[in-house]
Amino acid sequence: MMKSLSLVCLFIFQLFSTNAQTMNNNKTLIIYFSHSGNTKQIAEWVQGKINTGIVLIEPEIPYPSGYQQTIDEMSRQNKGKILPSFKKVDVNIQDYDTIFFGYPVWDMRLPPVVRTFLRDNDFSGKTILPFNSHAGYGTGKSVSEIKEFAPKAKVADAFSIKDSNVKDAKKEVERWINQMFE
């Protein structure tokens, strides 16, 4: 009798444990942009943990591969208030409740193509959980820009990692996700 009671208790504990190895929530989606792979790595760890769909934001005209050329192109777009188009993706944000939303911090802001993606999709009523990587200067104005371009969404504080720390950050990413689902 005691043994079966303990088993039932263990089952209930495991059911509600926020440290479950993987979570599966088909009302949750991951969306990210990454130019040199750091944010992509974080996005893949998020996906490994919550086991849900993942959408990549890709500019129709790719940013250059060289660092300085990318800075120049970003500056040109920022100065000209240019919002570059992105490759069409077959997703309806309204089918989801919670969006993990990843990007590198560029010029202390969102990359221009990420702003375009927010402008052209309907995030109203959704909860956005931003995550980003950066070179040491942090999130900057990027979260306020998410709020500006998705004004009817609820936007959490960003989870943010310095680029040189990304490779060792898997556990930190998993802890953050656990907190988000507590």
Binding residues for ligand FMN (CB under 6 A): 34-40, 67, 70-71, 74, 104-108, 133-137, 163
From the centroid of its chain, how far is CA 171?
Answer: 16
Distance CA 30, CA 19 (A): 20
Nearer residue to ligand FMN within complex by CB, 54 or 71: 71
Q: Which is nearer to ligand FMN, 23 or 64 (CB)?
A: 64
- Contacts with 62 (C-beta within 8 Å, 6 or more apart), sequence order: none
In the complex, what is the shortest distance from the CB of residue 174 to ligand FMN, in angstroms, rounded to a whole number?
Answer: 19
First to last CA, the chain: 32
Q: Which is nearer to ligand FMN, 121 or 139 (CB)?
A: 139
Residue 126 tokens read as: 């959704």
Nearer to ligand FMN (CB atom), residue 23 or residue 83: 83
Provide the phi-psi class of 81: left if phi over 0, else alpha when psi is between -120 and 50, else beta.
left
Q: How far is the CB of 113 from ligand FMN (least distance, A)?
A: 11
| SS3 category, 101 | strand
CB of 44 to ligand FMN, least distance (A): 11
* Nearest approach, Cβ of residue 116 and ligand FMN (Å): 16
